[in-house]
Structure 1
Amino acid sequence: MTGLAEVARMKRMWESLMVTAMLATAAPALADVKAGVDAWQQGDYARAIAQWRPLAEAGDPDAQFNLGQAYKLGRGVQPDFDAALDWYRKAQRQGHLRAEDNLGLLLFQQGDRDGAMPFLQKSASRGEPRAQYIVATTLFNGDVVGKDWVRAYALMTRASASGLPQATASLGEMDKYIPEDQRQKGLALAAGMERGDKDALASAAAPARAQPKPIRKAELPPSKPAETESSKPAAPKPAPQVAASRPALAPSPSPSPSPAAGGWRVQLGAFGEEARARALWGQLAKNVGGLSAYRSYYEKAGGVTRLQVGPVASAADAARLCGRIKAAGSDCIPKKI
């Protein structure tokens, strides 16, 4: 009996030590996700990847989503859409909603419209404007899913209300083909969606109609709000999400305004090393149309260099310039001088 009691005592002690070890390692793991976000914000993508990869391989959905973003944007690693999809799927299976959003958008971009649509429909129901734009387009054209002009008009209305300018233009195009009664039903359905009526989408099904005339293709813009890398509540917002593939319906974007003198700039990031700021400027000046016509500023504050571009004439012009920069996959905020 003494031997059995000793074995039981040792077992309890071992279990206690295991619990203590698990608790001891949990906090650093969470801290490492934030440490990776901090490194990402500073432009140190390699260090961010080094922080996230072991956590992602251990099953942390935020780290998995962050790695998906890194592979999608090609920061700290070579661009690899297959790897991005793999990490998005792993995070999505654990209930990571932004991973689900990005999974649908990237699948659509890669041409897998059938595989993308279930994820895009869920994202659209949650209010993701680009997903609403894509699903509305497919419902209007009868691509992938059955044609439903009422639902198409409702979703495009919601995407427009979210600030997606191409969605607003697309509503004007839809007005040429969708009869007034169906547009009114679509508006009522959109109002139900805004109220959070879960039955609104299912209760407003419209009968199939004749195929509308072709409408020229254009590019899908980025969503109005900037996307973030990690969903940890305490983590700051890192790099944005880029736009997915471009469906039909929206007209071509309007020409970009020319640089002008003014009291505004746009800030592209803050970096621990000025060389990283200059490297980002060199990259964006090539990839963002018209950006090279502006002047770059390297504002130092302590050990940080803030990369700013300007001057910009007004807050509205600064916001438009930021929109083009975000579409290229980089973060941006307007700044009053």
Structure 2
Amino acid sequence: MRFLWIVLLAAGLCAGEFDEAVAEYNQGNYIKALDAFYVLAKEGHPKAQFNVGLIYANGKGVNKDRYQAMVWYRKAAEQGNTAAQYNLAKLIAQRPDKEDPRALEQIKYWYEKAAEGGRKEAINDLALLYLEGKGVKKNKLKAFELFKKAAEMGDSAAQLNVALMYAWGEGLPNDKIKAYKNLKKALSQGRTEASAYLERLCKESSWACQGN
């Protein structure tokens, strides 16, 4: 399960203090970074709140604490931080009660928010909910459209997923050439599992792999 582990750069947000905290983090001074981010986070700055959540989630200089990570991700998420919205959804999806309707509702809600903000990973994971019928009515066509959107934005998981649907999805537009192209894109981004699917596709439909 992917998480966004990037410490965001300052964008006119208490730039001096924020940049100093980022510098401490990048130098491995995680406690100092946490202290600095925490001061800004308490003042309501979403990027600092996200980074406090990130440090707790990743256990950098502190014990991993998913509860604290979720608290701070939620604060940032409620202010529209898409990275926090996405990571919050992922953490909820790892809880023991992840199949509970209320948990599924939250997962869907935060994926949707992050997707609306242009977070490509969230669009892919929202598509998976529709494909599997988790927290939503199962809708393979909607999942397909979402996978296509995320794939076009460059998400490697979505490129792999849409390729499989193009090549072998029942009741969906069949396009072996698009399947091949998306598998190649996914493979170029490190999705090594795409290799086996490419081999299968080219064995079954060699014409789709020629000159593309």
Q: Report the equivalent of 1:168.
A: 159
Shift of 1:136: 1.0
Shift of 1:60: 2.5
Shift of 1:165: 3.0
The runs of 5 or more residues in structure 2 that have no matched partner are 1-11, 176-185, 197-212
Q: Aligned in 2, Cα 1:80/1:253: closer, same or farther, shift over 3 Å?
A: farther
Tell me, yes or no, if structure 1 residue 177 matches structure 2 residue 174: no
| Count of aligned pairs | 166
Amino acid at match of 1:146: K
1:254-311: per-residue Cα shift (whole Å, max 9, x none)?
A: 69xxxxxxxxxxxxxxxxxxxxxxxxxxxxxxxxxxxxxxxxxxxxxxxxxxxxxxxx
Which structure features the higher share of helix residues?
A: 2
Percent identical pairs in the alignment equals: 28
Q: Aligned in 2, Cα 1:42/1:103: closer, same or farther, shift over 3 Å?
A: same
Normalising to structure 2: TM-score of the pair? 0.66
Q: Report the equivalent of 1:308.
A: none
> Pick from 143, 146, 162: which aligns with 1:152?
143
Q: Aligned in 2, Cα 1:127/1:60: closer, same or farther, shift over 3 Å?
A: closer
Q: Report the equivalent of 1:47.
A: 32
Shift of 1:130: 1.9
Conservation of the 8 A alpha-carbon contact between 1:169 and 1:251: no
Q: Report the equivalent of 1:74.
A: 59
Normalising to structure 1: TM-score of the pair? 0.43
More off after superposition, 140-149 vs 78-87: 140-149
Q: Segments of 4+ in structure 1 off by > 4 A?
A: 27-30, 250-255
Shift of 1:100: 1.8
- Using CA pairs below 8 Å that are at least 6 residues apart, which structure has the higher relative contact order? 1
CA RMSD of aligned residues (A): 3.1
1:64-88: per-residue Cα shift (whole Å, max 9, x none)?
A: 1110111111112211111000001
Q: d(CA) in 2 for partners of 1:53 and 1:136?
A: 34
Conservation of the 8 A alpha-carbon contact between 1:166 and 1:251: no
Give the 3-state SS of the residue equivalent to 1:138 in structure 2.
Answer: helix
Conservation of the 8 A alpha-carbon contact between 1:129 and 1:162: yes
Q: Aligned in 2, Cα 1:109/1:131: closer, same or farther, shift over 3 Å?
A: farther
